[in-house]
Amino acid sequence: MKGLRKNIYAITVIALFSIAFAMLVLFLALFSSSTAVDGTTVGSVYIGDQKPNTDGRKQKLTEGVLSWQKDARYTISFQNYNFVIGRTDKLDDEGNPMYDEEGNQLFNDEGLSFLKFDYAETNRLIKNDSSDNEAIFVLSDEKKEEFYQTLVLNFGKDAVDLRFFNFDGDGGLLQRIMQDAREMNTKCDYDLYDYLNDSWNVSEVSDISISNLTSAKVDFLCNIFADKEIVIAPQKSDEGKLGFSTIEFFSKEEFANEGLTSSDMSIIATGFAAVVQNSSLTVTVKNQGYISDRYYAFDDMTARVNVKDGTDLRIMNPETHEYIIIIQKGADGIDGTSSLRFILKGSKLVNKYTVVKNDNSIPFETVYDSNATDTSYDPTYMEADTYKGGCYSWAYQEGRDTNLYSFTKIVEYVDGTTAEIEIYPKQEFYNGRDELRHWTKNGYKA
């Protein structure tokens, strides 16, 4: 009897426990279903708190997208030009740009307002309780043309010439912008370089020749350097942040046993310096590296390189992509001399660069000895032709006119404005200068 009561007790406990567990599971299920959060999101706009196909959802989504469009910052860059889509200058009543108290220019920012939000198509494609929904935008032909003309204004018609530039084709710039807009990405950067074809990016930017070289010298240098692709990496890369060093170039193992002299290296460096001048690339020199040497001068601009004393020429590439220098044999001269040709290849430049040589003639001076008490006569002096007041003058150095050269780079920008940049502000280029000095036998000035 006692055993029967124990069994009944055990069965009762198990039944009560089962009922309690079932009630708990039911309670949790009902609670979780009543507190579940709808995760519906379009881009960065949460609309899960609004029922589908209601005015509330339409209003919240539309306001969220319009706010995002105004705040979005999509920047297109090319060769140091930057254009923020939808940004225009803030102008005063007279049409002049406005600036804040700190001198920063003020802008009107409309973001991506030129894209029209298509709520109907966006709503049709929404997957409820999903964060992978995209916003759909449309772009009319009129707005597309306006946007293209804005690119022309900011980068020049050559850079966005549709023969070279993929504007709205597959993988084109506009397609990439539209996709980022669908995803409602807030900040995007585009390099126009990525949407230009090879006929633009592998162009001949500059071509110069160094003449008055012997045929033997040209053959010797061409045997070493001809048709090698000498890469000038961009400064923004690890490889190019310190610039292209001619000393490091000549120190490569492949040139170690070629018998290159400092003069040979200077000829090549002169070609490097000359061929990059009509571009955005710049040249820096260590140890006063520019001298004048008519033997291999290109337009009186000559570089000197010497591995032993560290005289180096560096080329700086401010662009986002590399440039290449190629060396070839040039044309022969009528006097039996030969020339070495240097070609700069890479992306075409939207700015136009011109180097102008300024040639100022400097007449020699007649400098008289200031020591009026010295009456000695040095027979090694050359007696002057003139005889004045009983005092002879001797010229110990013949004088002649000389020239002072300087070089100016003229940059014509996309908007038509120009700037003049002195290429070597601390460098003076001489074709030699002598002075004529006179000595008076009896100590007075002639």
Q: What integer pLDDT is reported at residue 3 of this predicted model?
A: 53
Tell me the mean pLDDT per 10 residues along the chain, length 446: 55 63 61 60 85 88 91 90 85 80 80 90 89 91 93 89 89 94 93 87 87 90 89 83 87 84 87 89 66 45 71 86 92 84 91 82 60 46 44 52 74 89 57 43 40
* Phi, psi torsion values for 32, nearest 5 degrees: -65, -35
CA dist 343 and 205 (Å) reads 8
CA dist 90 and 96 (Å) reads 8
Strands (E), 317-396: 323-329, 338-346, 352-362, 366-368, 382-388, 391-395
Q: What integer pLDDT is reported at residue 299 of this predicted model?
A: 57
pTM for the complete prediction?
Answer: 0.69
Residues listed for the chain: 446
DSSP secondary structure letter of residue 126: P
| Helix 262-275 × helix 215-225 angle, to 10° | 70
Q: What integer pLDDT is reported at residue 270 of this predicted model?
A: 87
Torsion of CA 80, 85, 88, 89, to 10 degrees: -30
Distances, alpha carbon 50 to alpha carbons 56, 57, 66, 121, 407, in Å: 6, 5, 18, 18, 69
Superfamily for 351-446? Resuscitation-promoting factor rpfb. (2.20.230.10)
Q: Which of 80, 98, 81, 78 is nearest to 89 (CA)?
A: 98
Going by C-beta distance under 8 Å and a sequence separation of 6 or more, which residues neighbour residue 204? 343, 344, 345
Q: What integer pLDDT is reported at residue 16 of this predicted model?
A: 62
Q: In the chain, where does the domain assigned CATH 2.20.230.10 lie? A: 351-446
**DSSP sequence for 261-309:** -HHHHHHHHHHHHHHTTTSS-EEEESSS-EE--TTT-BTTBEE--BTTT
Q: What integer pLDDT is reported at residue 343 of this predicted model?
A: 95
CA dist 189 and 211 (Å) reads 45
CA dist 108 and 90 (Å) reads 6
CA dist 420 and 392 (Å) reads 51
In sequence order, which ranges of 363-439 are alpha helices (DSSP H)? none
Q: What integer pLDDT is reported at residue 289 of this predicted model?
A: 39
* Phi, psi torsion values for 390, nearest 5 degrees: 80, 10
